[in-house]
Amino acid sequence: MDMVADLGSNRLYRAPGESSHQQPQRWFNTADITVSHQSNLLKQLNQQRRQELFCDCSVLVEGQLFRAHRNVLFASSGYFRMLLSQGPDGLSESVNATFDVFSPETFTVILDFIYSGQLDLSSHNVIEVMSAASYLQMNNVINYCKNFIKSSLDISVKDEDNDRCLSLSETCSFTSGAGEETSEQQQQGPSSVSPPPALWTRDNSRSQSGFIGKDPDPEASASALTNPNSPANELNTEAEDLQDPHDPLYTLPERRRGKGGTKRRAPNSTRSNHHEDLDMQEARTQKAEKAEELYATLPQIVGVIGHFNKDSNPIMRFKCPFCTHTVKRKADLKRHLRCHTGERPYPCQACNKRFTRLEHLRSHFETIHQARKLVCRKCKCQVTEETGHVVCEGTRRYRMCTACIQEVGCDNIPMDSLDGPNEEPALLLGVDGEEEGDTKRTWMVTDDDDLAEDSGADLIIQQVDDSDDDLQ
DNA sequence: CTGGGGAAGGGGCCC
DNA sequence: AGGGCCCCTTCCCCA
């Protein structure tokens, strides 16, 4: 029986020339051979790279030249798969690639990983490495970076487990086989890989950033966005994976939960969950601190994107580590990052809904809880402060004209809380966070003067300190 | 099924 | 740098 060593499986094989009838049999474990062989092969390739032997690919990163083997790059990176498969079929020709969206130091980390399986991550480079990996479409590296960040943000680990936790201040090294990709990606081949855009454009950003944070609806998305290997899709998944869906602070936006998802959050079950609430608050606080820690690394993810003004001076832009979006100002990037981190620092005192921006909270509050719109909800006619009666439905307030009020009839509007027209919406909220649309609604019709009187004082701006918003 | 409207989310940019 | 405004897009609900 001829012997064929299956290096891809972990099985026992007979030595060549031995049949099952021959005794004694000598068995050896091919897994050991596989590991040894891969390790030796990788070492050889790495040695060749360092000696620039048989290197047929030149990569220029911000002026610094890297030499590598095209087949190694091809096997390790979706970007290089695309790049190398698009070029002329002449295998003898040298291939050049130029990058200016990440630093040579970052590419060194990437290249070292490709050739050694060792990924040297630290709090100082994880964002940029992840960004570069996303650009180069290296899912395994992204996953390691994701795990690194996730470990750093993991607040569920109790104190006794702290020793096992990765800290942002630590430097760690992830090990994996170089060129490790999912079998799915391998099967899809280079033709299915979309290269990242060389330069960011407004339209491109619009579409991609618009996609991120929304449901990745394959029907509605453009073809490039439906590509599971496209940077936007990949990073969208990665960014969402970073979030703990059970974390109240990191609650995904409603629309990210899918079309079939309910829009209203289930109210807290009972007050017996008080301890859980406290734990959640503590977790939220810690996570917010970690997010701040992550934000502190922002200066390191600044990149000069390939834009130049009319004076040929480079325009500095801030690149999002989770997607291809770039912004002019760091503050805008910080604001943008909230759509990836899920951070919602502005809770509504009336309905506990949380917002990423103060202006969104204010708009929500004025629209939903203060009936600022001078439009009759029923007939859509314009009303004034005088003619528009304010109807309270739970924590929701809206205006109706006199005619519609009479048409509906006050008898049809439960008015069981008329003794408190000046109550702030926040005070109308049950202790368990009664939401709009609750079956036990509180309806009120108030004079507009009452609203005008208390309007402006209802909204209590509270940036998240997570101290008491869940307890109200 | 479709279109309109409301609400929310996000980007650009001015102050 | 933060706040705020404007605008656009997306999603959901409803007729």
pLDDT digits (tens, 9 = 90+) for A11-23: 434 444 444 444 4
**Considering only residues 357-396 of protein chain A, which place a Cβ less than 7 A from any atom of strand C?**
358-359, 362
Q: How far is the CA of A325 from the C1' of B11 (A)?
A: 10
Give CA–CA dist A175/A47, Å, rounded. 18
Helix residue ranges per DSSP H, A391-458? 402-408, 425-428, 448-454
The C-alpha torsion from A46 through A321 and A182 to A71, rounded to 10°, is -30
Query: Using the CA of A258, which nucleotide's C1' is the nearest one?
Result: C11
Q: How far is the CA of A440 from the C1' of B8 (A)?
A: 25
DSSP label at A93? S
Query: In this complex, which residue's CA is closest to the C1' atom of nucleotide C11?
Result: A255
pLDDT confidence of residue A93: 56
The set of residues with CB closer than 7 Å to nucleic strand B is A 202, 205-206, 209-210, 213, 253-255, 325, 327-329, 332, 335-336, 338-339, 353, 355-357, 360, 363-364, 367-368, 373, 375, 380, 398
What 3-state class would DSSP assign to A279? Answer: helix
Give, as ranges, the nucleotides of chain B with any atom within 7 Å of a protein CB. 5-13
pLDDT digits (tens, 9 = 90+) for A158-204: 333 333 322 333 333 454 443 333 333 333 333 333 333 332 322 33
Query: Using the CA of A329, which nucleotide's C1' is the nearest one?
Result: C1
Give, as ranges, the nucleotides of chain C with any atom within 7 Å of a protein CB. 1-6, 9-13
Give CA–CA dist A189/A179, Å, rounded. 14
Q: How far is CA A232 from CA A11, A103, A238, A250, in A?
A: 39, 21, 10, 21
Asked if the model's pLDDT at residue A124 lies above 70, the reply is: yes
pLDDT digits (tens, 9 = 90+) for A324-353: 778 878 888 888 888 887 788 888 888 888
Q: How far is CA A154 from CA A19, A161, A171, A263, A290, in A?
A: 54, 11, 16, 27, 9
Q: Do residues A172 and A148 make contact, with C-beta atoms less than 8 angstroms apart? A: yes
Give CA–CA dist A245/A240, Å, rounded. 9
pLDDT digits (tens, 9 = 90+) for A54-104: 888 888 887 888 889 988 988 888 888 877 776 555 454 566 777 767 788
Predicted confidence band of residue A292 (pLDDT cuts 50, 70, 90): low
Give CA–CA dist A369/A429, Å, rounded. 11
Q: DSSP string of A126-183?
A: HHHHHHHHHHHT-HHHHHHHHHHHHHHH--SS-GGGGGGS--TTSEEEEE--TT---H
Identity of residue A179: G
